[in-house]
Amino acid sequence: MNGPDTTSRAVLAGSAYSDERHLAARQSLYSWQHPRHDLPGIVLEHLPTEAGVVLDVGCGNGKYVSRIRAHRPDLTVVGMDISAGILAGLAQPVVVADAAALPAADGCAAALLAMHMLYHVDDLNTTLSEIARVLGPGGTFIASTNARDDKKELDDLWASAAADVLGTDQGPPRISLSNRFALDDAPDRLQPYFTEIRVLELNGMITVTEPEPVIAHLASYRTWADSAGVPFNATLERAHQRLHELITRKGAFHIHCRGGILLCTRR
């Protein structure tokens, strides 16, 4: 079985992020997290205080773009994403762009965001070099990702459901996006390009009392179903059954979240 191709430009611009449906399903699960972390608000707190250009690379459905524009009209915020479809609902300026070849001049940006997207790039060093190129001297780079043991309960739920479907003792693991750029070793991978790397850990607990938000989250990985190693729909259905039984028995399902934001300065 081949692993999921989570860096393919065609897949990312096509079925994975052709619109915001799958991304929104993953984002919505955090509505049940405590404490709630206002990530766009945290980003706003750490942007340069003077006017300038901010590039949001891999901006997706524009949650950061919209928030920054509303609260910092002095900044010129440009949303960039590899998918034209997911940019369709965002106000200009937005640009279809590959993170490994940004259509931006050297040193043009005061700040650059890469929020939960660096695990999608094919060559991390090439992309980080591009980010450093377009940032001005001392420019601010803000990235985010999850730790390798983030949402471990979802891994266990998927593996158990997959084992039931396959009739085996252990099912294949859940598709992971963050592992290619995990919070655990992200500072070391950023160090050649940035200084003053700080990690803000944003941990919490998601508690749900019905299966639907969790199943919607799991279903959002359908793009990579062919590499999941298990009949995808059947596994979703079995996960729903298992989750319903667990919630009926215990009253709730708890998911431990481990993520964070990296605050960096260009060398």
DSSP readout, 182-232? Answer: -TTTHHHHHTTTEEEEEEEEEEEEEEESSSHHHHHHHHTTGGGGGGSSS-H
Q: Closest Cα partner for 144 from 108, 100, 92, 190?
A: 190
Instruction: Provide the pLDDT for residue 226.
Output: 84
3-class secondary structure, 13: helix
95-to-121, 147, 150 alpha-carbon distances in Å: 17, 30, 31
Asked if the peptide bond before residue 35 counts as cis, ω within 30 degrees of 0, the response is yes
180-to-2, 4, 70, 219 alpha-carbon distances in Å: 16, 12, 32, 20
Q: What is the pTM of this model?
A: 0.95
Q: Which class would CATH give 9-266?
A: alpha beta
Cα–Cα distance for residue pair 67/41, rounded to 1 Å:
8
Instruction: Provide the pLDDT for residue 1.
Output: 40
Asked if the peptide bond before residue 231 counts as cis, ω within 30 degrees of 0, the response is no
Instruction: Provide the pLDDT for residue 3.
Output: 56
Structural domain boundaries in the chain: 9-266
Cα–Cα distance for residue pair 59/71, rounded to 1 Å:
17
Query: In this structure, are residues 73 and 65 in contact, taking their beta carbons and an 8 Å threshold?
Result: no
Q: Can you say whether residue 82 is alpha, beta or left, with left for phi > 0 and alpha for psi between -120 and 50 degrees?
A: alpha
Strands 109-115 and 75-81: unpaired
Query: In this structure, are residues 100 and 123 in contact, taking their beta carbons and an 8 Å threshold?
Result: yes
3-class secondary structure, 24: helix
CA dihedral (98, 13, 142, 116) positive or negative: negative
Instruction: Provide the pLDDT for residue 144.
Output: 98
3-class secondary structure, 7: coil
Instruction: Provide the pLDDT for residue 176.
Output: 86
Cα–Cα distance for residue pair 96/147, rounded to 1 Å:
29
Spacing of C-alpha 70 from chain mean position: 22
CB atoms inside a 10 Å sphere around CB 58: 24
Within 13 Å, how many C-alpha atoms sit on residue 251's CB side?
A: 0
Chunked into runs of 10 residues, the chain (267 residues) has average pLDDT values of 74 89 93 97 97 97 98 98 96 97 97 97 97 96 97 97 96 90 97 96 98 96 87 97 98 98 95
